[in-house]
């Protein structure tokens, strides 16, 4: 199987997004953002697999999972007017339901179907279950890395714009220098990913986004993380004060240490 028949899936997705857009009676902006996000995540997933070179069937699972990971965002937004799962529904699990309802994977083999559904269902979890089989874990990691890389782009684009920032973008967090989460800072200092649930301010969010460097699973995604510049700009936006100065320096040093030279061309 080749990547060629991905075209049918991509055409379906585009059409589904446009249908959902047509049903939207209010602001369709968030729907357009999610369509663009999906295309970016798919492109990044392709760049990751082009370099890491899984076997073709597994590669196809990675690309399908990237294409479909946020398929639930359109219905989530239309129904609940938010992308915050805690206030609406788990959009990973809802995506699995939609893919079944729409019979998107019925023409695929059972192993591929299982891997794609697993990755869509788990892509938005803070932590993955430890017993995840290797192939499903690989597909899930490709999607999660690519997803995080595009979220960095969106965050940087928004936070480099004029204040006040849109509450949806900054997750409703206050932009208050006095609010600092020790838990978020400790995670970043120890080279761990910080958790959304510990955020108290926009500065904490900047640290959390920077800490995603520690959760990149492939050389290509790690390189893109550093080379794209979004993470660096977000971290540079931290105040150089007693609370954030040290972690700002530390995260910038970690980013600068990533080798961004392109990988040698694959030999196969
Ligand atoms: Fe998502």
Q: Which two tokens stand for residue 84?
A: 């915050």
Tell me which of 121, 147, 173 is where a domain ends: 147
Q: Does any domain span residue 266?
A: no
| CA 212 / ligand 1 centre spacing (Å) | 15
Same domain, 191 and 117: no
Which has the higher per-residue pLDDT, 5 or 68?
Answer: 68
User: What would the two tokens of residue 14 be?
Assistant: 């585009």
Residue 235: inside a domain, yes or no?
Answer: yes
Say how many Å lie between the CA of residue 91 and the centre of ligand 1. 7
Q: Dihedral through CA 169, CA 198, CA 122, CA 228, nearest 10? A: 50
Distance 59 CA to ligand 1 centre (A): 20
Rounded to the nearest whole angstrom, what is the distance from the C-alpha of residue 245 to the centroid of ligand 1? 31
How many helices (H) and strands (E) in the chain?
12, 0
The rounded Å distance from CA 131 to ligand 1 centre is 22
* Domain enclosing residue 78, as ranges: 3-147
Q: With respect to residue 184, please indicate whether it lies within any of the assigned structural domains.
A: yes
pLDDT per position as a tens digit, 8-33: 999 999 999 999 999 999 888 889 99
Question: Are residue 34 and residue 127 in the same domain, yes or no?
Answer: yes
Structural domains counted in the chain: 2
Asked whether residue 14 falls in the same domain as residue 79, the answer is yes
- Ligand 1 center to 92 CA (angstroms): 6
Confidence of residue 1 (pLDDT cuts 50, 70, 90): very low
């Amino acid at each position: 199987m080749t990547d060629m028949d991905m075209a049918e899936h991509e055409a379906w997705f585009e059409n589904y997004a446009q249908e959902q857009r047509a049903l939207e009676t209010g602001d369709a902006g968030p729907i357009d953002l999610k369509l663009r996000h999906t295309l970016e995540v798919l492109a990044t997933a392709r760049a990751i697999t082009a370099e890491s070179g899984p076997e073709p069937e597994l590669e196809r699972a990675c690309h399908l999972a990237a294409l479909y990971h946020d398929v639930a965002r359109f219905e989530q937004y239309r129904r609940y007017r938010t992308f915050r799962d805690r206030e609406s529904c788990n959009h990973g699990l809802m995506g699995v339901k939609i893919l079944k309802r729409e019979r998107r994977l019925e023409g695929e083999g059972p192993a591929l179907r299982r891997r794609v559904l697993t990755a869509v269902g788990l892509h938005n979890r803070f932590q993955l279950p430890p017993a995840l089989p290797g192939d499903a874990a690989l597909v899930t990691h490709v999607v999660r890395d690519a997803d995080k890389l595009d979220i960095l782009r969106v965050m940087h684009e928004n936070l480099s714009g004029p204040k006040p920032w849109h509450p949806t973008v900054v997750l409703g967090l206050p932009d208050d220098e006095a609010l600092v989460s020790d838990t978020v800072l400790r995670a970043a200092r120890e080279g761990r990913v910080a958790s959304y649930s510990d955020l108290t301010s926009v500065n904490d969010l900047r640290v959390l986004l920077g800490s995603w460097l520690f959760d990149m699973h492939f050389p290509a995604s790690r390189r893109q993380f550093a080379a794209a510049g979004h993470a660096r700009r977000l971290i540079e936006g931290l105040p150089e004060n007693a609370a954030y100065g040290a972690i700002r320096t530390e995260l910038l040093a970690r980013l600068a240490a990533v080798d961004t030279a392109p990988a040698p061309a694959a030999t196969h």
